[in-house]
A and B are shown apart, each in its own frame.
Chain A
Amino acid sequence: MARPRSFDEGVVVDAATRCFTELGYAATSVDDLVSATGLHRGSLYGAFGSKRGLFLAALARHTPLLSWGTEDDDGDRALDLLLVAALELAPHDDAVRDIVRDACARLGPRAAGVLGQRLLDRARLDGDPPDGLPATTTPVPPAPTPAATRRT
């Protein structure tokens, strides 16, 4: 007989979300989740079943908030989680792929742009070309190198 839960699931899922978005899914160990959430290992497994179960709970909590034009910390956190889901789980996990697809549908036709911009922002790149360069630069072909003279 399972004991009643004595923790706030939202607080636990938010703490886990921070781990997943900062470290990535694969690199987040259950030890990381145990220390971030303050729960015992047994309680974590009892409540969520697995690390994947906790990740799904995080997606379910944060991605429905996403919609076109969301620009705040909650929106960024949801986008980060979506990026992790798309990069690490969606290629081989049907359930996660469906969630990513739904979230992209909510973001509308600009989904790719929004996700790409968030990726650059996370990397501390603003997405604009560096100063002094026109927006579209045609790459200059390298000068043809003279044929190497072979010494014998």
Chain B
Amino acid sequence: MARITVSDSNLEVRLTGLDAVWAMRRRLVVPLSAVRGATADPGAAAEPKGVRAPGLHLPGVAAVGTFHRGGAKTLYAVHSGRRTVVVQLEPGADTAGFARVVVEVPDPRMAVDDVNRALSIGR
């Protein structure tokens, strides 16, 4: 499970428990200016993920870590996939090169509304 929090100028993704161990990353903080939007998308957990480095991939069970596919770098932390949220980023130095974050959160609808509300205020 992960947590997405939005502050005035940043979006923070925190990985909890063993996810942080497998991903070798406890959190990712990106400026809101590099966030393009958030979507509740359970289907995203079943997509082909590409090459992991570093991370854990047990197809159908869990995908946690950094994955590379088609030139895009994605941070995954999904298990059942039912509560998956996709955050699309403008990849660059301030996103650590990540183009997308695909994580499961306790309340996807609330997380998506928080992110999109912050974007609609900021623009």
Q: Which residues does A use to contact B, with CB under 8 Å?
A: 1, 3, 29-31, 34, 41-42, 45-46, 48-53, 92-95
Contacts and interface: CB of A to CB of B under 8 A. Distances in A.
A30 B88 contact: no
Contacts of B44: 30, 41
Q: Which of A29, A42, A48, A94 has the most CB of B within 10 A?
A: A42
Nearest to A94: B120
B120 A1 contact: no
A49 B99 CA distance: 10
Classify the interface of chain A: helix, strand, loop or mixed: helix
A94 B37 CA distance: 15
B113 interface: yes
Contacts, number: 59
A50 B116 contact: yes
Given A41-B47, A45-B86, A50-B88, A30 B117 contact: no
Given A41-B44, A45-B86, A45-B100, A95 B39 contact: no
B113 to A, nearest CB: 7
A52 B121 contact: no
A34 B92 CA distance: 26
Given A29-B41, A50-B36, 20 more contacts: A1-B71, A30-B44, A31-B43, A34-B43, A41-B43, A41-B47, A42-B47, A42-B69, A45-B88, A46-B72, A46-B99, A49-B88, A50-B37, A50-B39, A51-B39, A51-B41, A92-B113, A93-B117, A94-B120, A94-B121
Contacts of A30: 39, 41, 43-44, 86
Contacts of B117: 92-94
A93 B36 contact: no
Interface string B10-40: 0000000000000000000000000011110
B116 A93 contact: yes
